[in-house]
């Protein structure tokens, strides 16, 4: 019985890794205030705090009196304001392409290496 439980645990740890763990981070949270979350398509939301990694495809949501500052790998920053819904559609340092969508609320950005 112990052997079966161990094998099942090993299988789950090996093959049930979350999707975002396989991706390369495109940035991190430089500052967070209040209740904030990020979610990949078809994945559970995860809470965002200082130094949490963000990934291409993340949908970042903030609540009342909450905000986050996303610091991207190229040095650019995006402040996601309270009650906002912001998605990192594409971020690629190599081709210097970035595409973001604001579904609700507002953001403020400052550029890094992307012009």
User: What is the mean pLDDT of each successive set of 10 residues along the chain, which is 115 residues long?
Assistant: 47 46 86 97 95 97 97 94 97 89 94 63
Q: What is the pLDDT of residue 16?
A: 45
Q: Residue 11: its pLDDT value, please?
A: 46
The predicted structure's pLDDT at residue 95: 85
Please report the pLDDT score of residue 9 as a whole number: 47
Global pTM reads 0.77
The DSSP-derived string for the chain is -HHHHHHHHHHHHHH---GGGGSPEEEEEEEEESSEEEE-TTS--EE--TT-EEETT-EEEE-TT-EEEEEETTS-EEEE-TT-EEEEEEEETTTTEEEEEEEES-EEEE-SS--
């Amino acid at each position: 019985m112990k052997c079966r439980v161990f094998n099942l645990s090993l299988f789950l740890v090996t093959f049930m890794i979350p999707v975002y763990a396989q991706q390369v981070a495109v940035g991190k949270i430089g500052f967070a205030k209040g209740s904030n979350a990020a979610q990949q398509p078809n994945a559970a939301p995860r809470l965002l705090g200082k130094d949490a990694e963000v990934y291409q495809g993340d949908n970042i949501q903030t609540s009342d009196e909450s905000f986050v500052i996303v610091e991207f790998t190229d040095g650019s920053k995006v402040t996601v304001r309270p009650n906002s819904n912001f998605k990192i559609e594409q971020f690629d340092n190599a081709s210097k392409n970035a595409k973001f969508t604001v579904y609700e609320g507002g953001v403020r950005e400052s550029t890094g290496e992307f012009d």
